[in-house]
Structure 1
Amino acid sequence: MASSVSGPRDLPESQYDLSTYWGRVKHSAGVSDPRMLLVTPSNVEHSRELISQYKNGRIKDMTPELWKAKKVLDSTIHPDTGKPVMLPFRMSSYVLSNLVVTVGMLTPNLGTIGTLFWQITNQSLNVAINTANSNKSHPLTPTQLVTSYFMAVTASCSVAVGLNSLVPKLKSLSPYSRLVLGRLVPFAAVVSAGVVNVFLMRSEEIRKGISVYDDETGKELGVSKKAAVYAVGETATSRVLNATPIMVLPPLMLVRLQRKIRMSKPVELAVNIGLILSTSFVVLPFALGTFPQRESIDTKRLESHFWDLKRDSGESIRKVQFNRGM
């Protein structure tokens, strides 16, 4: 990210107002822009130089060229290492990297073997993306990583196989209702595994707490376990919201189309890919923008030692902020 470039001057976090939902949607659209996959090493170095000039005061104001340079670095460079994230695991590659796996999971009538294969493949991709983009100052141990992976795989496979065997037994429902429920099984599996994965990978934050800062001055005020619960809970919720449009809308639309139009298998596959791809590009920024990255919260919702904090001026601190994480 652009934050990895050294200099005494801070960069604006975004050219959009991240305190508003629409501002976060536009920011998310930029972060996940697949055109950023076309940047070359020379583009990255040129962007570094421009950002360095701004952060060291040689360029006074943000310009369209500087915003583009920031976008290049934010979508390519890891903020801790300062090195490019491996291409398939960048946020700008999120839609394309997940396309094959999502199409596989949403393929009708997979059977048990196919269901297990695609759920395991999906969790393997998730681990690779999480590892490539993780906070390098507090890396997971190999044991934590392996535990998180196997728990997520167990959750997703158990839910998928269990629901696939349960839905046909719901004789009180109409055949169409059972068909719709069957197409939503991958969504339930992905969501349950995603929530399990978040709480496992960030369990240390809940146990030890995360740093909170004065909402106005940015001064660090201490560590809060309650803030960690909010941060991890919102992140888990965001995983559900991110998965919902991609895993729910395409299968439901495909069911409706199949009732009206007879399709061969190749046509059905092409339609399925088109629905997933278009839904991912259009809806993903709206899901990603649900929660702000830096969350503000009233001190009364945290531990009691934050309730009566004051600034040097004697003014009471009413709100604090924390980094929600990914």
Structure 2
Amino acid sequence: MNAIMSDKDVSKFNFNSYPWDQKQYWGRFRYFAWVTDARLCMTDGETLDRAKNLRTLHMQGRTPGGTTHDQLMKAKQLYESAFHPDTGEKMNLFGRMSFQVPGGMLITGAMLTWYRTVPALVFWQWVNQSFNALVNYTNRNANSPLTTTQMGIAYVSATSAACVTAIGFKNFLMRRASPLMQRYVPFAAVAAANCVNIPLMRQNEIINGVDIYDENDERVGLSRVAAVKGISQVVLSRIVMCAPGMTLLPLVVERLECYEWYRCNQKWIAAPLQTAAVGCFLCFMVPAACALFPQRSSLSTKTMHSLESQKYEELKQNVGGKVPCVVYFNKGL
């Protein structure tokens, strides 16, 4: 999609376009910093509903008189931060990407602080994976809904993977590694769990395929390969998102423990210090990680022909034999 025109003529404002060039990483970073701004979490429901209503009226050609370009931009920001792109329904506050900074910093800070005992390790991994499951469900592809059973299996599997990995790493490192290496147990568990949680919460996309579109945004079929590609990109993005805070902070804390003033106050200063530091990392890393790959991802139809011939034949039928070289799909978040 093309970037929104600089022309301030309200009638030309396009809610389906992006404010910045999405073909460039910096453009994607600016966009995700805009829609994942943690301050958007404090927007009340009535304001969000007004933003959605303004968007609907404008798209119907019934823009209220006196509406400015800035008001439309604000409505776009609020809508895209709080409403599901497929259904248009308001998303759960705790599952929105704009809640990643406050939610992630509190949970990650706790994981980095209380990891020395198995009960504490298991508890905070469970809390983290419960949060991740909610985020993954909230940002799912609404065209591939999960049954209650599938959701339950996905949740239990991801939580179990995190806890088993955390306990396994802890037991291994307790015997062989330094105290510094033991601080990396939470990150190893989170990375492993993400590789389980996201694919399971989006399993129907892998089973049935995701919608694919031509260059004119016309739906032309389904693709399982596209689903696998999109989910793989999301898994990598989520790991990158939490990596700096969970890998650099252990080094910082290890260094701080060399100072007597820190050791004397560690009981009350460790948790708030690490939580605040994680929040600083996440303010940058949430948009940085989301922007790694274009939201409108692409897939070569040659790849479809090689890996899923049935879906390729369906695509060929849908387009009357004139198969495009590339198709596009929404990778999700």
Q: In the TM superposition, what is the alpha-carbon distance from 1:10 to its structure 2 partner?
A: 5.9
Q: Is the 8 A contact 1:209 1:223 kept in 2?
A: yes
1:32-71 residue CA offsets vs partner (Å, 9 max, x unmatched) = 1121122233322332333223212244998222111111
How far the C-alpha of 1:277 sits from its partner, in A, is: 1.4
Q: SS of 1:222's equivalent? A: strand
Moved more, 73-82 or 22-31: 73-82
On the 8 A contact 2:295/2:332 being kept in 1, the answer is: yes
Residues 300 and 72 of structure 1, relative CA distance in 2, 3 Å threshold: same
1:56 aligns with 2:55: no
* Structure 1 contact 194–239 (Cα < 8 Å) conserved: yes
Task: Provide the secondary structure at the position in 2 that maps to 1:321.
Answer: strand
Q: What secondary structure, in the 3-state scheme, does the structure 2 residue paired with 1:223 have? A: strand
Change (3 A) 1:202 1:131: closer
Q: Are residues 289 and 260 of structure 1, via their aligned partners in 2, closer, same or farther at CA, if it must alter by over 3 Å?
A: farther
Match of 2:167 among 142, 157, 161: 161
Contact 1:195–1:239 under 8 Å retained in 2: no
Q: Residues 89 and 97 of structure 1 are in contact (CA less than 8 Å); yes or no, is this contact kept in structure 2?
A: no
| Cα 1:247–1:88 shift into 2, 3 Å | same
In structure 1, distance between residues paired with 2:81 and 2:316: 38
| 1:1-326 superposed matches below 5 A | 11-59=15-63, 63-107=69-113, 109-170=115-176, 178-214=178-214, 216-260=215-259, 262-263=261-262, 264=265, 265-304=267-306, 306=312, 317-326=324-333
Runs of 4+ in 1 over 6 A off after TM superposition: 310-316
Asked if structure 1 preserves the Cα contact closer than 8 Å seen for 2:140 and 2:332, the reply is no
| TM-score of the aligned structures, taking structure 2 as reference length | 0.83
Distance 1:118 1:220, change over 3 A: same
Amino acid of the residue matched to residue 271 of structure 2?
A: L
1:65-103 CA-to-partner distances (Å, cap 9, x unmatched) read: 211111111222234554432333322222112232212
Q: Is the 8 A contact 1:232 1:324 kept in 2?
A: yes
Give the superposition deviation at 1:149: 1.0
Query: For residue 205 of structure 1, what is the amino acid of its counterpart?
Result: E
- Partners of 1:231 and 1:210 in 2: how far apart? 9
How far has the Cα of 1:258 moved from its partner?
Answer: 2.6
Deviation at 1:117, TM superposition (A): 0.8
TM-score (norm 1): 0.85
Unaligned runs of 5+ in 1: 1-8
What are the ranges of 5 or more consecutive residues in structure 2 without an aligned counterpart?
1-12
Shift of 1:272: 1.2
Give 1:16 shift: 1.2
**Aligned-residue CA RMSD in angstroms?**
2.9
Which residue of structure 2 lines up, in the alignment, with residue 6 of structure 1? none
SS of the residue aligned with 1:221? strand
Conserved? CA contact 1:295–1:322, under 8 Å: yes
Structure-1 separation of matches of 2:234 and 2:251: 26
- Whole-angstrom CA distance in 1 between matches of 2:138 and 2:323: 41
Amino acid at match of 2:248: L
Q: Is the 8 A contact 1:195 1:236 kept in 2?
A: yes
Counterpart contact for 2:212–2:327, Cα < 8 Å: yes
Question: Compared with structure 1, are the counterparts of its residues 146 and 109 closer, same or farther at alpha carbon in structure 2 (3 Å cutoff)?
Answer: closer
Partner Cα separation in structure 1 for residue 157 and residue 38 of structure 2: 31
Q: Matched residues in 1 for 2:321 and 2:223: separation?
A: 22
Structure 1 pair 222/316, CA: closer, same or farther in 2 (3 Å)? Answer: closer
CA contact under 8 A between 2:187 and 2:246: conserved in structure 1? yes
> Partners in 2 of 1:151 and 1:16 — Cα distance?
38
Offset of 1:315 from its aligned partner?
7.3
Q: Per-residue CA shift, 1:131-179, capped at 9, x if unaligned? A: 3443444321111111111111111111111111111322xx6xxxx22
Number of corresponding residues:
311
Q: Distance in 1 between matches of 2:318 and 2:209?
A: 22
Q: Is the 8 A contact 2:163 2:189 kept in 1?
A: yes
Please tell me whether the aligned partners of residues 221 and 318 of structure 2 are also in contact (alpha carbons under 8 angstroms): no
Query: Shift of residue 213 of structure 1?
Result: 1.8
